[in-house]
Amino acid sequence: MIECQTLELVKMNQKIKDAHNEVLVTSDKTTQELIVNIRSKIHPLFKISESIAILDMLAGLAQLITTQDYVRPELTETLAIKGGRHPIREKIQKDKFVPNDVYATQQARFQIITGCNMSGKTTYIRSIALMCVMAHIGCFVPAQYASFPMIHQLFARVSTDDNIEANVSTFASEMRETAFILRNIEPRSLVIIDELGRGTSTDDGLAIAIAIAEALIESKAYVWFVTHFRDLPRILAERAGVVNLHLAVDIAPDFSRMKMMYEISEGYEEEKFYGLALARVIDLPKQVIDTAAQVSQSLHERIETRRSNPKVLAIARRRKLILSLRQQLQQAKDCKMDAAALQLWLKRLQDEFAVRMSAIDAEVEARADVDQADAVDRMATEEPDSSIADRHSESTAPEATPCVETSSVIEVAPPSGPAGPQIDSSSVVEISPRPTRNSKGPRGFANLLGSIKREAIANVEDPSDEIEVD
């Protein structure tokens, strides 16, 4: 390499370097002086920045609600959404977004969501949380109607990420986040949980999911619990405050076609093998699918043969029915219907309550008769050296069943004055369902309905308190 240099070039190069350094020093000095001058006025600048940010947010919200089909939410004690939509998903989805309804009160505060894979369960619960946040910041929400209670905390357990840096697996991450929720939850919280307990064995995962669900029910917070455990909604179905929902899906009889309806429906998912149906649609090898179908059918039949105690189920169903009656009576107390309409509504409520209570009693009697007949048949086929008469007397011995009395009178007296209609003292609703066996004891159904009447008609401090039924 040949380098040509003269004394003049060296001097010129040095001048350029000196000028550059001088510019850097001068700019640093100017910047420091500016910071010192601004430091005394930092508080007004923060206020200006905050005002600009709020103005930008309000302008964005105003532009959104004037160009989109949004509605102003109300603040009540009930979480109710009609035609709710996911605010982000509906913008990026090519097809028209399917809206869904949401309704949650203290008697429907724990909602179990089941359904096929890819049916929209996660989108449904996330849309509820997003609309709740939008309502609490003063924004309109994507729905036809919306009302929200005041929510103090919002918890979400929806991801499946692990943490390699912290040496935490997917299941450990689930348990850590759930533990935080259980330690901080309160009645004014809203919780969404997506498929808890899937990172461990089936039995352990189901047991943990049920235990966590019980704790969340006792917290009296609003909870949406997505799960693929088929036994969980059945086990918790009769608990007070529990509602089973599912996302509908249309599956062909030969499992060759699946159409996601994306519509929320009542009850848990009845389709037993939707996972196999999805695997068949995505073209998993036929031999693998056939083997999985045989194993799944065998396990399903084994589980279905285990019968639960009909008397225990009946007690839980009666308790849930009575708590629902209490909530409806509380709503009647606060309503503004005229006397004639209220009397007609209470008469329909009486008839519906009597029919549903009688249906529970009839089902218990039918199950008891079937179980007794099966026991007699089994004893008749046993070895002859045992005394059939003795075994029969043991199997038919009366059991200690709860004392339930199913007849009572509820006198409903709505508040007087402009807030409610006037009803004379003859407005009495008599609820007389069919009596059950062993209806004795001082804490029977009459006392229970009496407590319902007192709490529904008087000024109740906490209408969300549950009624313990022995």
pLDDT digit string, tens, across residues 326-384: 888 887 777 777 888 888 888 888 898 989 888 888 888 887 777 777 777 767 765 44
Q: What pLDDT sits at residue 427?
A: 38
Q: What pLDDT sits at residue 48?
A: 92
Local confidence band at 22 (pLDDT 50, 70, 90 cut-offs): very high
Give domain status of residue 82, yes or no. Answer: yes
Q: Could you report the per-residue pLDDT of 113-142, keeping only the tens digit for each? A: 999 888 899 999 999 999 999 999 999 999
Helix residue spans in 108-260 (DSSP H): 121-136, 170-184, 202-219, 231-235
Residue 424 tokens read as 């004379």
- Domain shared by 261 and 164, yes or no: yes
d(CA 86, CA 134): 11
- Cβ atoms < 10 Å from Cβ of 329: 20
Give domain status of residue 292, yes or no. Answer: no
* Contact criterion met (CB below 8 Å) for 429 and 346: yes
Kindly report which listed range (34-38, 280-284, 289-293) carries the lowest average pLDDT score: 280-284
- Domain shared by 352 and 227, yes or no: no
pLDDT of 425 over the 50 cut: no
Give domain status of residue 230, yes or no. Answer: yes
* Contact criterion met (CB below 8 Å) for 128 and 155: no
What are phi and psi for residue 454, nearest 5 degrees? -65, -40
Strands 408-411 and 258-266: unpaired
- Domain shared by 116 and 226, yes or no: yes
- Domain shared by 412 and 265, yes or no: no
* Contact criterion met (CB below 8 Å) for 125 and 113: yes
Which of 271, 295, 321 corresponds to the end of one domain?
Answer: 271
Of residues 73 and 295, more confidence is placed in 73
Place of tokens 């001082």: 442
SS3 265: strand
Local confidence band at 303 (pLDDT 50, 70, 90 cut-offs): low
- Domain shared by 184 and 232, yes or no: yes
Q: Which residues constitute the domain of residue 451? A: 310-379+401-457
Give this prediction's pTM.
0.62
Give domain status of residue 234, yes or no. Answer: yes
The arithmetic mean of pLDDT across residues 308-313, rounded, is 67
Of residues 196 and 469, more confidence is placed in 196
Q: What pLDDT sits at residue 309?
A: 63
Q: Could you report the per-residue pLDDT of 314-325, keeping only the tens digit for each? A: 787 888 888 888
Domain of 111: which CATH number?
A: 3.40.50.300
- Domain shared by 247 and 318, yes or no: no
- Domain shared by 239 and 327, yes or no: no
pLDDT of 158 over the 70 cut: yes
Give domain status of residue 59, yes or no. Answer: no
The arithmetic mean of pLDDT across residues 28-57, rounded, is 90
Which of 271, 288, 323 corresponds to the end of one domain?
Answer: 271
- Domain shared by 347 and 232, yes or no: no
Domain count, the chain: 2
- Domain shared by 96 and 166, yes or no: yes
Q: What pLDDT sits at residue 434?
A: 41
pLDDT of 436 over the 70 cut: no
List, as one string, the DSSP characters of 25-71.
HHHHHHHHHHHHHHHTTHHHHHHHHHHHHHHHHHHHHHHHHHHS--B
Q: Could you report the per-residue pLDDT of 235-273, keeping only the tens digit for each? A: 898 888 999 999 988 888 777 778 888 999 999 887 667
Kindly report which listed range (2-6, 75-79, 83-87) carries the lowest average pLDDT score: 2-6
Local confidence band at 232 (pLDDT 50, 70, 90 cut-offs): very high
Q: Could you report the per-residue pLDDT of 53-80, keeping only the tens digit for each? A: 999 999 999 998 899 899 999 999 999 9
Give domain status of residue 406, yes or no. Answer: yes
* Contact criterion met (CB below 8 Å) for 84 and 127: yes
Give domain status of residue 16, yes or no. Answer: no
Give domain status of residue 465, yes or no. Answer: no
- Domain shared by 322 and 243, yes or no: no
- Domain shared by 234 and 340, yes or no: no
pLDDT of 406 over the 50 cut: no
The arithmetic mean of pLDDT across residues 215-234, rounded, is 93
* Contact criterion met (CB below 8 Å) for 263 and 98: yes
Of residues 405 and 151, more confidence is placed in 151
Sign of CA dihedral 148, 149, 154, 155: negative
- Domain shared by 261 and 327, yes or no: no
